[in-house]
Amino acid sequence: MSQLATTSARYRRRKLLDKAMTVMAYLCTLAAIVPLVLVLVYVAIKGLGAWSPQFFTGLPQLFGNGGGIYNAIIGTVIIVGLASLMGIPFGIMAGIYLAEYGNNHLGSLIRFTTDVMTGIPSIVVGIFAYGLLVVSMGGFNAFAGAFSLAILMVPIITRTTEEMIRLVPGSIREAALALGAPRWKTIVYVVVPTALGGIMTGILLSIARVAGETAPLILTILGSNFLNTRIFQGPVAALPLQIYDFSRSPYAGVIEAAWGASLVLVLMVLILSLAARLILARRGST
Amino acid sequence: MLSSLTTRFALLKQLRRGNLGDVIFQLLALLFGLSILALVFGIVFETWAQSAPSRREFGWSFLWSTAFDPPNDSFGALPFIYGTIASSILAILIAGPIGIGIAAYLVEIAPRRLNQIVGFVVELLAAVPSIVFGLWGIIVLAPWLKNYIVPPLQAVLGWTPLFSGTFFGPSVFAAGIVLSIMILPTVAAISRDVLRAVPDAQREGMLALGATRWEMFSRAVLPYGKSGITGAVILGLGRAAGETMAVTLIIGNSPKIFTSLFDQGATMASIIANNFAESRGLFLSSLIEIGLMLFAVTFLINVGARLLVSLISRQPQGGIRA
C-alpha cells in the first residue's frame, strides 16, 4: 500500500516537472516574440510620426527636425543595386559549381568556406573593401560600399542556389540530356529555371540582409548630407548609415528622423523577407 | 589530388568529343567557386598587410596593453578583447537557454501550423537590421532598464562588483541584453534543425518506457543532439562577438577594463566602427589589427561550431548516447 503511495507521489512529481518544463518552453518562445513585437510597434508609431512629404524629398540636417532622407534612399538604391549586380551572378555561378561539379574535396572545401563566410563579421568585410577599393581609389566611394555588400550576399545566394538545384528531380535533367542537349545547356535552360523560385528566395533574403547593413558602409561610403549619384567618387549616404548619424544627435527632433528612417528600412526589409517566404511557400504547394 | 586528376581527364575527354561549351561552362563555374576561397584569402591578406605598421610598432604587447591614446599614438587591444568576451558571454547566457527552449517548443510541443508561424517570427527577428535594434536599445530599452530592472537588481545583488555603480543607460548590461535578442534566432534556428535530426526512435523508446515528455527530451533527445546544440550556442557566440552597430550605439565606447556590468565599455567591433572614419596612420593601422584579430576569433569559432553541427548528421541511427 505504502509502496503504491510513494510511487504515485513520485509520479505526481514527475508530472509536475514535465508541466513546469513545458511552461518554460512556452515562456522561451514568448521571450522571442515580445521583443520583436515591441521593436516593430515602437518603430511603426515613432516612424509614422516623423513621416511627411518633406521627409522623403529633403536632405538631412544636423538640427531641427533632421530634414529628409532623399539622398539616403537614392544612395541605398544605388549601392544595393550595384551589390546585386555583382553578388547575384557570382552567387548563382558558385552555387551551380557546388551542386553540379562540387562532389569532390575541392567542392567540400568551398562549401565549408561558404558556410564559415556567413559568420565573418560585416565590419571585417568593410575593412577589406576599404583596403582594396577606398585606399586605391583615393577616397570613399559607392562602388567600395557595393563591393562589401556583394561579398556579404554571395554566401547566402551560393548555398540556397546549391540546395535548390539539388532538389531538381533527376528525371528533368535526364530528359534534357536524352534530347541531346549538352550539359551546360541542360543546366542553364532546364535545371536553373526549374529551381528559379528557390533561388529567388535566396536572392531576396540576401538583399534584405545587406540592405540593413551599416558597419561596412561606415568604412567604405562614409555617409553624406548631400545627394551624390556618382559611383566611383565621393562619400555617399545610405539609409542605415543615416539612421546611425541621426541617432547620435543630441536633438530630439533629429532622433525623431532616425525613427522615420528606421521605419522605411524595416518596411523594406520586411517586405523583401515576406516576398521570399511567399515564393518559397508557393513553390512548396505545387 | 586524385579527384582533380579525374576531373582533368574528364575535361580532356569532353574536349575530344567536341563539347567545348561544356568545358567552358565548367571552367567558369569552377572559377566562381574558387573565387570564394580567394575572397576569404583576400580578407586575411588585406587586413594583414594594412595592420603591418601597428604590428611592427607594438608587437605582441598589443594583445595585453590597455593603452588607448590617439594623440600619442599608443594603443592596446586588451580592453576591447575583454569587452567583446564579457558582452558576448552575457548575451549567450541569456540567449542560449532561451534559444534551446524555443527549439524544444518548436520540435517537441508546437502543432504544425503554430510551428510555421513561430518559425517565421523568429526569422523576422533575424531580419530586423542591427542599427534599428541599436536605436531601440539606446532610446527605449536602456531607460526602461534604468527605471524598472536595475533598481530591484541592485537591491538584491548590488553588493557584488558585477552590479555595483550607477546605471546611466549606455552600458555593457544593456548591450548584452540587446545582443541576446539579436543572436536568439541563430541559436534557435540551428538548435531546431539539430533537434529535428534526432531520430524518432530515440523518443519512441523513451516514451515506451513510460517517461514523461520532459524526461524523454532531457535524457534521450538532448544528449543525442549535444554536440549540435553546443555548435548552435557557439555560433551564437560568434555572432555576438562580431555584431557591430547595435553594440556601438549602446555600449558607450569607453576603452577601459570594467568590473561592473553597469559600466560603459567597448568591443573590438564597436571601437572600429566608432573611430575608423576619424583615424589616420598608426591609429588606423591598429584598428585594422583589431579587425584582423576579430576575424581570426570569429573564423575559429565558426569553423569549430560548423564541425560540431555537422557531427550530428553523421551519428549512428538509434541507441541512447549519454
Burial class (CB within 10 angstroms; exposed 0-12, middle 13-18, buried 19+) of A194 = middle
Residue type, B312: I
Of B105, B129, B272, Cβ closest to residue A29: B105
Dist. CA A130–CA A121, nearest whole Å: 15
Return phi, psi of residue B79, to 5°.
-60, -35
Alpha carbons within 13 A on the beta-carbon side of A94: 32
Terminal-to-terminal C-alpha distance of chain B? 39
* Max CA distance (Å), chain B: 82
Of A29, A115, A244, Cβ closest to residue B306: A115
Query: Which residues of chain B does A94 touch, with a Cβ-Cβ cutoff of 8 Å?
Result: 29, 32-33, 35-36
Instruction: Mention every residue, 6+ apart, whose C-beta is less than 8 A from residue B131.
Output: A212, A214, A240, A243, A244, A247, A262, A265, B245, B246, B249
Query: Which residues of chain A does B111 touch, with a Cβ-Cβ cutoff of 8 Å?
Result: none
Q: What is the secondary structure of A59-85 as a DSSP string?
A: PB-SSTT-B--HHHHHHHHHHHHHHHH
What is the CATH topology of the domain spanning A53-285? MetI-like fold (1.10.3720)
Dist. CA B258–CA B246, nearest whole Å: 19
CB spacing of B127 vs A269 below 8 angstroms: yes
**Is residue A263 within 8 Å of A55, Cβ to Cβ?**
no
CB spacing of B36 vs A218 below 8 angstroms: no
Mean of pLDDT values over A145-157: 95
Instruction: Output the nine-digit C-alpha cell for A79.
Output: 549601392
Q: Which of B293, B315, B297, B317 lies closest to B305 in space, CA to CA? A: B297
This model of the complex carries an ipTM of 0.90
Nearest-neighbour CA in chain A from B53: distance (Å) = 14
Dist. CA B246–CA B88, nearest whole Å: 13
pLDDT at site B172: 93
Mean of pLDDT values over B305-322: 62
pLDDT at site A6: 63
pLDDT at site A267: 94
Question: Which of A27, A46, A122, A123 is the mutation pick for testing B, counting most B CBs within 10 A?
Answer: A123
Query: Which residues of chain B does A182 touch, with a Cβ-Cβ cutoff of 8 Å?
Result: 19, 21-22
CB spacing of B36 vs A14 below 8 angstroms: no
**Is residue A123 within 8 Å of B272, Cβ to Cβ?**
yes
Dist. CA A223–CA A244, nearest whole Å: 10
Instruction: Output the nine-digit C-alpha cell for B300.
Output: 575559429
CB spacing of A25 vs B136 below 8 angstroms: no
Classified as helix, coil or strand, B160 is coil
Mean of pLDDT values over B64-74: 83
Query: Which residues of chain A does B106 touch, with a Cβ-Cβ cutoff of 8 Å?
Result: 29
Of B29, B121, B238, Cβ closest to residue A33: B121
Mean of pLDDT values over B258-282: 89
pLDDT at site B13: 63
pLDDT tens digits, A13-54: 899 999 999 999 999 988 888 888 899 999 999 999 889 888
Dist. CA B180–CA B297, nearest whole Å: 19
Dist. CA B232–CA B237, nearest whole Å: 9
Crossing angle of helices B281-314/A105-117, nearest 10°? Answer: 120
pLDDT at site B259: 86
Phi-psi region of B206 (alpha: psi -120 to 50; beta: other; left: phi over 0): alpha
pLDDT tens digits, A245-263: 998 888 888 998 999 999 9
Chain B residue at shortest CA distance from A13? B212
Q: How confident is the model at residue B21 (pLDDT cuts 50, 70, 90)?
A: confident
Residue that wins the pLDDT comparison between B4 and A158: A158
Mean of pLDDT values over B69-82: 87
Domain ranges of chain A: 1-50, 53-285
Q: How confident is the model at residue A123 (pLDDT cuts 50, 70, 90)?
A: very high
Dist. CA B293–CA B245, nearest whole Å: 18
Question: pTM of the predicted model, to two decimals?
Answer: 0.90
Give the DSSP letter of residue B148. Answer: I
Mean of pLDDT values over B160-181: 89
pLDDT at site B250: 93
In chain B, which ranges are E strands?
Answer: 68-69, 74-75
pLDDT at site B314: 56
Q: Which of B150, B81, B10 lies closest to B293 in space, CA to CA? A: B81
**Is residue B210 within 8 Å of B220, Cβ to Cβ?**
no
Of A39, A106, A116, Cβ closest to residue B299: A116
CB spacing of B105 vs A270 below 8 angstroms: no
Mean of pLDDT values over B65-74: 83
Compute CA A240 distance to the chain's CA centroid, rounded to the nearest angstrom.
Answer: 13
Query: Which residues of chain B does A97 touch, with a Cβ-Cβ cutoff of 8 Å?
Result: 29-30, 32-33
Instruction: Mention every residue, 6+ apart, whose C-beta is less than 8 A from residue B141.
Output: B174, B177, B178
Q: How confident is the model at residue A8 (pLDDT cuts 50, 70, 90)?
A: confident
Indicate the length of chain B as a whole number: 322
Chain A residue at shortest CA distance from B238? A119
Query: Which residues of chain B does A124 touch, with a Cβ-Cβ cutoff of 8 Å?
Result: 43, 47, 242, 291, 294-295, 298
Q: How confident is the model at residue A154 (pLDDT cuts 50, 70, 90)?
A: very high
Classified as helix, coil or strand, B252 is strand
Radius of gyration of chain A (CA): 25
pLDDT at site A3: 57
**Is residue B154 within 8 Å of B65, Cβ to Cβ?**
no
pLDDT tens digits, B191-226: 998 999 888 888 999 999 989 999 999 999 999 888
Instruction: Output the nine-digit C-alpha cell for B183.
Output: 543572436
**Is residue B170 within 8 Å of B111, Cβ to Cβ?**
no
Query: Which residues of chain A does B50 touch, with a Cβ-Cβ cutoff of 8 Å?
Result: 127, 131
**Is the pLDDT score of A138 beyond 90?**
no
pLDDT tens digits, A171-203: 998 999 899 888 889 999 999 999 998 899 899
Mean of pLDDT values over A72-90: 95
Instruction: Output the nine-digit C-alpha cell for B191.
Output: 538548435
Q: How confident is the model at residue B320 (pLDDT cuts 50, 70, 90)?
A: very low
Q: Which of B70, B48, B47 lies closest to B279 in space, CA to CA? A: B70
pLDDT tens digits, B29-39: 999 999 999 99
Residue type, B321: R
Percent over 90 (pLDDT), chain A: 57
Q: Which of B191, B122, B112 lies closest to A273 in space, CA to CA? A: B122
Q: How confident is the model at residue B12 (pLDDT cuts 50, 70, 90)?
A: low
pLDDT at site B3: 61
pLDDT at site B15: 55
**How many CB atoms lie under 10 A from the CB of residue B24?**
11
Residue that wins the pLDDT comparison between B151 and A4: B151
**Is the pLDDT score of A70 beyond 80?**
yes
Chain A residue at shortest CA distance from B1? A105
Between A and B, how many CB-CB pairs are < 8 A? 272
Query: Which residues of chain A does B42 touch, with a Cβ-Cβ cutoff of 8 Å?
Result: 128, 132
**Is the pLDDT score of A284 beyond 60?**
no
Residue range B62-314 in CATH 1.10.3720.10:
yes
The kind and range of the H/E element at B200 are helix B200-208
What does the CA dihedral A208, A210, A212, A214 come to, rounded to 10 degrees? 180
